[in-house]
Amino acid sequence: MDQTLQKQHIRIGVIGMGYVGLPLARLFSTKYKTIGYDLNARRVAELMAGTDATLEVPDALLREAIDKHGFLCTTDISLLKDCNVYIVAVPTPVDRDNRPDLTPLRGASETIGRIISKGDIVVYESTVYPGMTEEVCIPIVERVSGLKFNTDFYAGYSPERINPGDKEHTVEKIRKVTSGSTPETADLIDAIYNSVLVNGTHKAPSIRVAEASKIIENAQRDVNIAFMNELARIFNAMNIDTRDVLDAAASKWNFIRLTPGLVGGHCISVDPYYLIQKAQVYGVMPRIMMTARRLNEGMGEYVAFQTIRLMNKKGVVVKDAKILILGVTFKENCPDIRNTKIVDICHTLREYTADITVCDPWADAAKVAREYGVDIVTDLQKALSFRYDAIILAVAHDEFKNLPVRSYLKDDNGVVYDAKGILRRDDVDGRL
């Protein structure tokens, strides 16, 4: 590796100002000159005005980064030409058939190729299957830039570990995995990340190992939650409360306590497909992961049908019933609606009634309508001014935890279904 980069001042350019890129760029700006780049002009304008709609970076910290540390967000890629370390933090979604959609990653790699210079480093943070950085991304950078990999420029992979809405495991406290395309590059990348992290790093022996480590983190959680969801289906059919079973089992010292639930978001519900697809290329059929994905994908529909079953048992007419769904984000106390499974509950119930109110004070109503075709109410008091035949607690927002839910039913025959297990036992008719 060209040693000149180690001797000069590090200047960092972060591609993608979303849930991952912005917190990382803000953190790096406390130590290095840092510029963030995003295609979304509205997003960039909001950030430069000192507001982060994702709520991952508090406004005070964002303004401090801009005013004190000179952090800049831009849609002008030419402003990043003076950087010498580029970090790619763009989404890695799947298409409608759950096949990896590499469009954002390919586009980011082409962008890097247009501005990278000799001796520079590009680090990928986006979740990918093992081998993608060197097999897909780097060849694009080479082709566009005309530079030769590991001769003219270098690469690394440091998987993101952002947990949206988590105010405890923030980016500076997360222990990061790092890697590099040469030993010297790996050392430099590790040193750069170490310089801003409280709990340090784990330097992986190769980029492929780092890529694999990230994708199994989420695949493991997907499989574990799928097991809990399967247990919930079994015990519900047997009229046994799943949470009671888990409480009893957790009394053993080595039982791993997990709970059933809806698996949405951009990580657990998406990332396993990347490994599933790559495994099949190598002739391995990842049956456990595939089964887990199918089971978890069907839980929204399952919650809807469990609610309908309870309504039928209590003599509540399902056709044209008035139903309230509390929550639409994919997790509690967070505005993130990516791949939320709450819409699956809504769409299933719509086959029986159009009188459905979805309420979420955390979500952006315009964004939900645009992404999912679902109109929501963000004013909780407005939603609670009506009376319902059934109420489904779908997301464990703090605003919902102490609600006297039964008082918002039309009568005693109304149904309350608790998909998160946070309401008082006496207030609910069924729960996961």
Question: Which residues are marked as active site?
Answer: 267
Name the phi and psi angles at 144, rounded to 5.
-75, -40
Asked if residues 357 and 346 have their Cβ atoms less than 8 Å apart, the reply is no
Asked if residues 194 and 169 have their Cβ atoms less than 8 Å apart, the reply is no
Q: Where are the beta strands (DSSP E) in 247-399?
A: 323-326, 356-359, 376-377, 390-393
Which residue is listed with tokens 């680090």?
Answer: 123
Q: Which amino acid is at 146?
A: G
Asked if residues 150 and 121 have their Cβ atoms less than 8 Å apart, the reply is no
Asked if residues 241 and 217 have their Cβ atoms less than 8 Å apart, the reply is no
Nearest-angstrom CA–CA distance, 104 and 29: 24
At 237, which helix (H) or strand (E)?
helix 207-237
Residue 149 CA, distance from chain mean position: 31
227's torsion region: left (phi>0), alpha (psi -120 to 50) or beta? alpha
At 73, which helix (H) or strand (E)?
strand 72-74
Name the phi and psi angles at 406, rounded to 5.
-70, -20
